[in-house]
Amino acid sequence: MSVLGLIVEYNPLHNGHIYHFNTSLNITQAKNSVCVISGNFVQRGEPSVVDKWARTRMALESGIDLVIEIPVIYCVQSAEFFAYGSISLLQSLGIIDTVCFGSEIGDVKLLNKIANIISTEPYEYKKYLKQELTSGKSFAQSRANALLKYLSKNDTDHLDYNMLNSMLQSSNNILGLEYIKWLIRLNSSIRPVTIKRLSSNYNDTILIDNLSSATAIRKSLKLGQFDLLSSQLPDSSYEILKRQFETDKGPVFFEDFCQSILYILRRMSLREISEIMDVNEGLEHKIKKAAISSCTLEELISDIKSKRYTETRIGRILIHSLLGLTRDQLLRLKEAGGPQYIRVLGFSEKGKELLHRMKKTCTLPIITNTADYKRYDNKYLHEMIELDIRATDIYNTVHKNPHLRKGGMDFYKKPEML
């Protein structure tokens, strides 16, 4: 029986996600589905509006069979490292036949062509990339320019370079390239499939018809316009959000952590800031100065960002500071060779059957009860999952109801079941 793999955040799960899921099932003819999902902090460098268990429930009620958490060390990272963690997880399950992702271009053949270049890194391409990076541009822009230069001399398909340049700047295309790159590098038998995104773009901030972006939906939540979202979300997601908000379990926004982040950065020395994951090239001086002068998170990010360090990248660095993620820690955990465990957040009856099947195929320990991680004699596993536990404990500190701020939720919260 074929199994579909999805890489998601569902922050929150909306109509566009339902379209993607149903179309994925139709294209692949898969009978079962597994998604790997970001935990309480997401790839764009901010907290999720509701916690990972609420978003797991949304996934299950929308038809997904098994939900697995992406370790936080991979969640709040660049597209490359996020994709590596996600694809590695799907690969380790031993049951996934296809991975389907949304993209602005919707052309898997073209994505495969570009992914092969960035995967194999021909000498000429690497030379162009190095030249572009030294000019102070962001990595995404540098890579796009390097690819265009490389293809101008090596392309036999006569691609439209204006289209290609636009494609290489789009967030979901970039993620799609990274997914395929890691499938190639991991020598995976999982087949990539892409679906062209409908209507709104990933970063659109205005509600459009009934297919708005998650960014626009979160903006409406921030403005207190929850009632406007009934047409943007499937009924199950809307009701889950409503219950979460009625019990003071959200919405959670990046600004809620402003005081904690300012406190941490003002307390840290320049040396300590320089050790935060992804802080390079003397950025610690700019961060320290901005932390002293800023009163809001918006001011802080605005004062730090540059052509090379985008707003999203700065957001991730601030989350790294909040969670205490250091460069040395990342280098150490890279030695592990990918995620070290399968953390089950929820499953349906069909998902339970998949878990039974995975006992014979999975190359990593399957953890449904968090406390069980202590049974494994693996220092990388311990460090990685303890970061997930820390992330949940920190996330819970901003709940309005003080009784919800208790730590250790990962230990007493059971997987969601449908």
Q: Return phi, psi of residue 5, to 5°.
A: -110, 140
Q: Is 250 annotated as a binding residue?
A: no
Q: Is 403 annotated as a binding residue?
A: no
Cα 55 to Cα 39: distance, rounded to the nearest angstrom = 9
Contact 147, 167 (CB under 8 A): no
- List the structure tokens of 139: 């990595």
Pairing mode of beta strands 32-38, 41-42: unpaired
Residue with tokens 């809620």: 256
Query: What SS3 class is residue 77?
Result: coil
Residue 378 one-letter amino acid: N
Query: What SS3 class is residue 334?
Result: helix
Q: Is 335 annotated as a binding residue?
A: no
Residue with tokens 């800031």: 273
Q: Is 263 annotated as a binding residue?
A: no
Contact 387, 398 (CB under 8 A): no
Q: Is 396 annotated as a binding residue?
A: no
Residue 14 to residues 34, 199, 203, 211, 293, Cα–Cα distance (Å)? 18, 13, 15, 8, 38
Contact 337, 288 (CB under 8 A): no
Q: Is 8 annotated as a binding residue?
A: yes
Q: Is 19 annotated as a binding residue?
A: yes
Q: H/E element holding 70? A: strand 66-70
Q: Is 375 annotated as a binding residue?
A: no
Quick one: how far is CA 399 from the chain centroid? 22
Rounded to the nearest 10°, the torsion over CA 192, 159, 133, 305 is: -70
Q: Is 67 annotated as a binding residue?
A: no
Instruction: Identify how many contiguous H helices and E strands the chain contains and give both numbers.
Output: 20, 10
Q: Is 266 annotated as a binding residue?
A: no
Helices (H), 268-414: 270-274, 283-293, 297-304, 311-323, 327-334, 349-361, 379-395, 409-412
Q: Is 102 annotated as a binding residue?
A: yes
Q: Is 172 annotated as a binding residue?
A: yes
Q: Is 197 annotated as a binding residue?
A: yes
Q: H/E element holding 98? A: strand 98-103
Binding residues: 7-20, 102, 172, 197
Binding residues for ATP: 7-20, 102, 172, 197
